[in-house]
Amino acid sequence: MRPALTLWLLLALATGGAAQRRSADPDSVRIVTSDIDNFWRAYDRLTRHSTHDDSVRAFAEEYFKPASPGLAEFIRLRIGSPDSLVGALGQLPRYYAAIRSNTLRIHEKTAIIRDGLRRFQALYPGAAFPDVYFLIGRFTTMGTASDRGLYIGAEMVSSDSSTPTDELPSWARAVTLRSEVIPCIVVHELVHYQQANARSGTLLAMVLNEGVPDFLTDHAVGCQATGSVVYGYGDRHERELWVEFQQAKHGTDYSRWLHNGLTTTGRPANLGYWMGYQIAKAYYERAPDKRQAVYDLLHIHDYDALLAATGYAERMER
């Protein structure tokens, strides 16, 4: 076993998970960015003469070992090991180097993030608020949530007009990677944190699981986490997408709708977010009690019944 990997295993045993901490008050939420500083401290240990094992050791010691509770959980959910993280850095070296200064300014977004939390509370007064952690990962996750917190991939919300994108996969070039999406990503993950839906693996359930957060985020803070390319295409092709979705909605093949950034051709990835948004929006607009409609969208017990209540199918037929 390589020495650096042995070190990582020892550190992993010493790293605890994030403690569950939630509140009904958005002003009590901790917005944690300290792991970003630790990431760049590890990065600064790398030189042109560093071996792969040197790099793994640097991130194990400087980034993984002093991890915040949120990073400890994010390592488990999305990063894996220092070896995996070093591999991502090797694939996107110029991109990571270019976003450094912007990641180090994310703490300046605290006020606008907290304003987004308050706006969501106005929409859903029963909301629970966990802590928010900004972390640097493997360029695979803009945001995710667990019962322990919200985790935002800082490397995916820190580009600007000067950031080189030629190293990025094609799907990433269609996604807004700039800091203006930060409130959208945080609120989107906050909506996921509230969801208490019936378990189902159908395409209908899966698109609602993502589309409802996009819709409620848009309603609360005026933007979607998914981006304009997906929504622009969906709006232009609404009827044909609906016909296709109708035929697939009770199946479990998501390959044309979700998590298909590496395989889609001829149209944007993740059109399921757009479809779920349309269904959620139709339900909300038709509901006489808007506050109850928000609750219903966060607690879906019968996906077909909710879809039927939207009147969306009838509108598409007309």
How many separate domains does the chain show?
Answer: 2
Give the separation between CA 51 and CA 190, rounded to whole angstroms.
40
DSSP line for 75-113:
IIIII--HHHHHHHHHHSHHHHHHHHHHHTTGGGGHHHH
| Residue 304 counted as domain residue | yes
Same structural domain, 118 and 180: yes
Boundary residue ending a domain (173, 194, 215)? 194
Say whether 49 sits in a helix, a strand or coil.
coil
Same structural domain, 211 and 249: yes
Boundary residue ending a domain (194, 224, 240)? 194
| Residue 270 domain boundaries | 203-317
| Residue 6 counted as domain residue | no
| Residue 10 counted as domain residue | no
Same structural domain, 273 and 304: yes
Within 13 Å and on the Cβ side, how many CA atoms surround 179?
Answer: 19
Same structural domain, 210 and 281: yes
Boundary residue ending a domain (170, 194, 218)? 194
Report the mean per-residue pLDDT for the chain: 93
Q: Which residue has the tokens 């819709």?
A: 215
| Residue among 129, 139, 132, 128 nearest 84 (CA) | 139
pLDDT in tens, 152-180: 999 999 999 999 999 998 888 878 899 99
**306-310 mean pLDDT:** 98
| Residue 2 counted as domain residue | no
Q: CB atoms < 10 A from the CB of 78, how many? A: 16
| Residue 7 counted as domain residue | no
Rounded to two decimals, the pTM is 0.93
| Residue 53 counted as domain residue | yes
pLDDT in tens, 224-279: 888 889 999 999 999 999 999 999 999 999 999 999 988 988 999 999 999 999 99
| Residue among 302, 138, 127 nearest 204 (CA) | 302
Q: In this structure, what DSSP letter does residue 258 have?
A: S
Strands 132-135 and 149-153: parallel
**% of residues, the chain, pLDDT over 70:** 94
Diameter of the chain measured on Cα atoms: 67
Same structural domain, 156 and 212: no
Same structural domain, 188 and 45: yes
